[in-house]
Structure 1
Amino acid sequence: MSVSEEFDEWARDGRDEGMEERHWHTAKHALARMPVEAGDTVLDLGSGSGYAGRALRETKDAARSYGVDAAPQMARNAREYTDDRRSGFLNGDFEHLPFADDSVDHCWSMEAFFYARDPDAVLDELRRVIRPGGTFYCAVNYWEESVHTHEWDELVEVPMIRWSEAEYREHFRDAGFHVAGQDRIPDTETTIPPAGEFPTEDFETREAMVERYREHGTLLTVGVVP
């Protein structure tokens, strides 16, 4: 199954809004760090329901926000969730972005980058469209050190890349980004039951669930265009 087919199905089932609710636990902290200023143009790569672009418009006064998603139904749903004329949503290919060179001030991506067919080509394309001094905030819950997410390989019917933290930094630098930072943002809001309620459907032990959410959380890698 392709990424488009997989997430069109999610969008038709209404699971795009559920994704937003779960991602917001850590996304809100990362979005608050972005150096977006009034008048900036922001890009949300793998925009889903469009929550990140809307947040940057509302809290940072970005002039324009564009969401690009590989699933047509995701983009259609996102358009219906807002009447803000300065927020646009496109169905498109991450490796071939419909933007001019140096036309984007900042880019955000949450739980989407690892679905790219050619992640290095995506980084090259972002390096092209982001202006000098602009940033790419790449947030993922699925990466090598986050061992409790490795089972997603069996749950999602599309290929995913699983880089380590060091590999994210290496590939960002190879594409010409300066790595301004990388850290884990803990999810402090997901409820973790008492030890006596384990095993659950998803975790054998409470310790494993604590590690997944409180210690691993979301990996954020920040690249800056020189």
Structure 2
Amino acid sequence: MSTQEEFDEWAASGKDRGMEDHHWHTAKDALSAIPVEEGDVILDLGTGSGYALRALSQTHYLSQGIGLDGSPAMAQNAREYTDAVNVSYTIGDFHHLPFADESFDHVWSMEAFFFAEEPVQLLTEIRRVLRSGGTLFCAVNFYQESKHTHKYQDQIDVPMFLWSQQEYRDLFREAGLDVAAQTTIPDEEIEIPPKDEFPTEEWETRDAMVDRYRTWGTLLTIGVAP
């Protein structure tokens, strides 16, 4: 199954809204750190339901927000969920972004980068479409140090690429982006039961669940275009 087919199915089944609900726990903290100024133009790569752009359009005076997804069904759902006139959605290939050089002030991507078969090419494209001083906020929960997320590959029929925190920094730099910061954002909203209620259907031990959500959470790597 192709990545497009996989996520078309997710969109048809309503999983896009489920992803939105789950990702928002840490996305809101990462989004609040983007230095958005009035009139900025923002690209959301792997936009899914479009929740990130809707949130940014409600809290900032964006000139324009564009969400790109490889799934036509995801993009169509996002259009239906969005009322903001300055937000639009398009379909495209991450590795060949359909935008002119220096088109964006910021790029946001959450839980999408690990599907990139050619990560340096993708990051080079992001560098190309960013204006000088523009930022890339890349958030993932599937990464090497977060060992309890590695099972996610078994739950999806398309390849996911597992990189470490150091490898993310190296990839950014190889593509010509400066690494401004890297941090982990704990998920404080997932309720973790007391030890005497384990094992659960999903977790063998409480320590494993704490490790996944409180210790490693979401990895945020911030790049800046020189």
In structure 2, C-alpha distance between the alignment counterparts of 1:187 and 1:173, rounded to whole Å: 28
Provide the TM-score with structure 1 as the length reference: 0.98
In structure 2, C-alpha distance between the alignment counterparts of 1:64 and 1:201, rounded to whole Å: 43
Q: Secondary structure in 2 aligned to 1:66?
A: strand
> After superposition, what is the alpha-carbon deviation per residue over 1:78-113, rounded to whole angstroms, capped at 9, x for unaligned?
000012221111111101111110011000000001
Q: How does 1:63-212 map to 2 (within 5 A)?
A: 63-212=63-212
Q: Secondary structure in 1 aligned to 2:101?
A: coil
8 Å CA contact 1:57–1:63 kept in 2: the answer is no
In structure 1, C-alpha distance between the alignment counterparts of 2:172 and 2:57, rounded to whole Å: 26
State the Cα distance separating 1:117 from its structure 2 match: 2.0
Provide the TM-score with structure 2 as the length reference: 0.98
Structure 2 residue identity aligned to 1:25: H
In structure 1, C-alpha distance between the alignment counterparts of 2:98 and 2:175, rounded to whole Å: 19
In structure 1, C-alpha distance between the alignment counterparts of 2:61 and 2:55, rounded to whole Å: 9
Q: Secondary structure in 2 aligned to 1:151?
A: helix
State the Cα distance separating 1:31 from its structure 2 match: 0.3
5+ residue gaps, structure 1: none
In structure 1, C-alpha distance between the alignment counterparts of 2:201 and 2:110, rounded to whole Å: 25
In structure 1, C-alpha distance between the alignment counterparts of 2:208 and 2:116, rounded to whole Å: 28
State the Cα distance separating 1:196 from its structure 2 match: 1.5
State the Cα distance separating 1:119 from its structure 2 match: 1.3
> After superposition, what is the alpha-carbon deviation per residue over 1:97-155, rounded to whole angstroms, capped at 9, x for unaligned?
11110011000000001011211110010010000000000000000000000011111
Query: Size of the alignment, in residue pairs?
Result: 226
Q: Secondary structure in 2 aligned to 1:150?
A: helix
State the Cα distance separating 1:213 from its structure 2 match: 0.3
| 1:60 alignment partner in structure 2 | 60
8 Å CA contact 2:57–2:84 kept in 1: the answer is no
Q: Secondary structure in 1 aligned to 2:170?
A: helix
Q: Secondary structure in 1 aligned to 2:187?
A: coil
4+ residue runs of structure 1 moved beyond 2 angstroms?
Answer: none
In structure 1, C-alpha distance between the alignment counterparts of 2:61 and 2:209, rounded to whole Å: 37
Structure 2 residue identity aligned to 1:39: G
| 1:46 alignment partner in structure 2 | 46
In structure 2, C-alpha distance between the alignment counterparts of 1:120 and 1:88, rounded to whole Å: 26
5+ residue gaps, structure 2: none
RMSD of the TM alignment (CA)? 0.7
8 Å CA contact 1:65–1:88 kept in 2: the answer is yes
Q: Secondary structure in 1 aligned to 2:184?
A: strand
Q: Secondary structure in 1 aligned to 2:176?
A: coil
| 2:217 alignment partner in structure 1 | 217
| 1:24 alignment partner in structure 2 | 24
In structure 2, C-alpha distance between the alignment counterparts of 1:62 and 1:146, rounded to whole Å: 34
8 Å CA contact 2:25–2:187 kept in 1: the answer is yes
The percent identity for this pair of structures is: 60
